[in-house]
Structure 1
């Protein structure tokens, strides 16, 4: 479970995240949806301890991320696939992650197979990887410790249609086994395909939070709702 409680993050006069509260439940894929610059990435960075909150809090499995013993073994994270060390091979990236988590090196081969990176590809330098390959490697690193929670920021970037289908199945299986998935995207269609619940954010504020079926009830146009609630220049009238 991931719980955001009245989270606010300001950078000088700019409020990037404004009193955000919602919960990502076990057994569900929660889609965190909003246009670029809406506050999604900032909120996720606060959740995993990379950015300090101005006010409010985020807990994962009942604790702040920094207070979880060996957190990477419990919480799988992918925030920026391009941040991987370009001079290391894919296998080296995973092997170092396994070493840091204290898990068997045999897990590396299991993960490589899971994310569809071949032996030949795993021995290539990450600097030569396509964006889609980096995304697969990043998802693999997030899965290394057999975590209970996945936090993924725009994981579909760079994936071809086959890769996107693979990712959907992976996340669905993870959630169906009781895991918690928080998936951010600015792509409404992609989130709608895999999410059980959607949290929409615009201008740093939550503008919708409901099961996908509820948002689609009575013939509502989800795309129009998304555009109206997240792209408006006004913050007035939105409920947190």
Structure 2
């Protein structure tokens, strides 16, 4: 990834300003945005992933979200903190959709399914999934395809210790292949698991290094 660039960013809901800052730039690496609930982490990630309107300019590898939204979004994979999917489709149907859209290799996706221990459940309706299974499914879909920037919002909540180790290993592997990551978490990441390039927090409507 050449770089993520945010300039003159303003985001508000009504009269309530979530954040307002002049510039924030990141190059290739793994970055952690920490902080408690309500600090604006999810809103920031939704802005960067193109999920919510904002004021300012945002680009990835020189591609502007506002000028070339399809090209921009094709480089990003966003996994929500609390994923919601149609309850009447199966895990495989959702995964196959991601495989088709991203022109991904089916075998690679199935390998990730196996790593998360979800093989036996992929033909079940999503409505029958526990919160932990739902989170694993969202991460499986997120890691499907060749993506430049992975945005993972609270990826460690509701998953077990084994799944957390799988997640850490996937992040390290994809990072070594050239992808970058933005992670949020209100809890501490396990020490030594990830080669973090930067840690940030949203404070007083600004993004600052910790």
TM-score interval for Structure 1 and Structure 2 normalised by the shorter chain:
0.7 to 0.9
SS at match of 1:83: coil
Q: Which runs of 5+ in 1 are unaligned?
A: 210-240
RMSD over equivalenced CA pairs, Å: 2.4
SS at match of 1:155: coil
Give 4+ residue runs of structure 1 displaced > 6 Å after superposition. Answer: none
How big is the shift at 1:78?
0.5
Equivalent residues of 2:149, 2:181 under 8 A apart: yes
How big is the shift at 1:38?
0.9
Which structure has the larger Rg? 1
- Distance (Å, rounded) in 2 between the aligned partners of 1:163 and 1:20: 38
Instruction: From the superposition, tell whether residues 183 and 132 of structure 1 become closer, same or farther in structure 2 (CA, over 3 Å).
Output: same
How big is the shift at 1:108?
4.2
Instruction: From the superposition, tell whether residues 111 and 167 of structure 1 become closer, same or farther in structure 2 (CA, over 3 Å).
Output: closer
Equivalent residues of 2:116, 2:163 under 8 A apart: no
Greater helix fraction, Structure 1 or Structure 2: 1
Deviations 1:158-199, CA, capped at 9 Å, x for gaps: 111222122112112211222110111111345885333101
Q: Which residue of 1 aligns with 2:23?
A: 21
Q: Which runs of 5+ in 2 are unaligned?
A: none
Instruction: Please list, as runs of the form range in 1=range in 2, the aligned pairs for 1:1-240 lying within 5 A after superposition.
Output: 1-19=3-21, 21-26=23-28, 28-53=29-54, 55-65=55-65, 67=68, 69=70, 73-103=74-104, 105-106=106-107, 108-118=109-119, 120-190=120-190, 193-194=193-194, 195-208=196-209
Greater strand fraction, Structure 1 or Structure 2: 2
Equivalent residues of 1:72, 1:145 under 8 A apart: no
How big is the shift at 1:126?
1.4
Q: Which residue of 2 aligns with 1:219?
A: none
SS at match of 1:196: strand
- Distance (Å, rounded) in 2 between the aligned partners of 1:114 and 1:21: 38
Deviations 1:53-80, CA, capped at 9 Å, x for gaps: 1x32221222234625465653211124
- Distance (Å, rounded) in 1 between the aligned partners of 2:99 and 2:106: 6
Q: How many residues align?
A: 206
Equivalent residues of 2:50, 2:73 under 8 A apart: no
Instruction: From the superposition, tell whether residues 90 and 191 of structure 1 become closer, same or farther in structure 2 (CA, over 3 Å).
Output: farther
TM-score, normalised by the number of residues in structure 1: 0.75
Instruction: From the superposition, tell whether residues 107 and 192 of structure 1 become closer, same or farther in structure 2 (CA, over 3 Å).
Output: closer
How big is the shift at 1:6?
2.8
Which is further off, 57-66 or 159-168?
57-66
- Distance (Å, rounded) in 1 between the aligned partners of 2:16 and 2:192: 30
